[in-house]
Amino acid sequence: MSYDTNVVYDQCHSISVSFNGLNVINKNVQIRMSRGFLNNLTIKLSEMDNYSFNYSCTIDPGSFQRMRAEQFLEINFDELQSQMIDLLHEIQNEQMFLKLEAESNKCRMVFYEKSRLKSLIFLVIDLSLTDQREIIEEMTKSIATLKEENRNCNYRLSAIRNQLQEKETLLGATVSTSKIFENRVKKDMQMLENVFCTTLHKLERTIGEKLNRLSLKQVKLLGDVESVKNDNRLKCESSVRLVNSLHSLRLENERHLKMVDELKLEVNHLNILRRNCEDKCATLQRSLESKNHDMQDCKGQISELKKDLQDATMIIAQKSKTHDEIAKDLVQANSMLVNFNNQCDTLSKELDESREVIQLKDRSIKEINIKAHRMQEEFDVYRTKYNVEEFAKLQQELCLAKQKVNDLEKHNKETIKLNGLLTRKLSSGDVSQPARNAWLPPSQRSNY
pLDDT at residue 38 tops 70: yes
| Averaged pLDDT for residues 135-162 | 85
**Rounded distance between C-alpha atoms, residue 374 and residue 368, angstroms:** 10
Whether residue 388 lies inside any domain: the answer is yes
Band of residue 438 on the pLDDT scale cut at 50, 70, 90: very low
Whether residue 433 lies inside any domain: the answer is yes
Which pLDDT tens digit goes with each residue over 382-426? Answer: 656 655 566 677 677 778 878 887 887 787 788 788 777 777 777
Final residue before a domain boundary, out of 112, 130, 148: 130
Beta bridge partners of 58: 42
Whether residue 117 lies inside any domain: the answer is yes
Whether residue 200 lies inside any domain: the answer is no
Band of residue 199 on the pLDDT scale cut at 50, 70, 90: confident
pLDDT above 90: percentage of residues in the chain? 0
The domain tally of the chain equals 2
Q: What is the dihedral sign for C-alpha 188, 194, 197, 201?
A: negative
| Highest mean predicted confidence (pLDDT) among 265-274, 284-293, 436-445 | 265-274
Whether residue 78 lies inside any domain: the answer is yes
Final residue before a domain boundary, out of 130, 157, 173: 130
b or e along 184-211 (b: 16 or more beta carbons within 10 Å of the residue's beta carbon)?
A: eeeeeeeeeeeeeeeeeeeeeeeeeeee
The domain that contains 14 carries what CATH number? Answer: 2.170.210.20
Contact 111, 98 (CB under 8 A): yes
Q: How far apart are the first and last CA of the chain?
A: 145
| Averaged pLDDT for residues 136-158 | 84
Whether residue 194 lies inside any domain: the answer is no
Least confident of 193-202, 305-314, 417-426: 305-314
Whether residue 234 lies inside any domain: the answer is no
Length of the chain in terms of residues written: 448
Q: In whole numbers, what is the pLDDT of the chain averaged over residues?
A: 78
Band of residue 312 on the pLDDT scale cut at 50, 70, 90: low
Final residue before a domain boundary, out of 107, 130, 153: 130
| The predicted structure's pLDDT at residue 326 | 60
Q: What is the dihedral sign for C-alpha 77, 79, 85, 88?
A: negative
Domain interval for residue 42 = 7-130
Whether residue 214 lies inside any domain: the answer is no
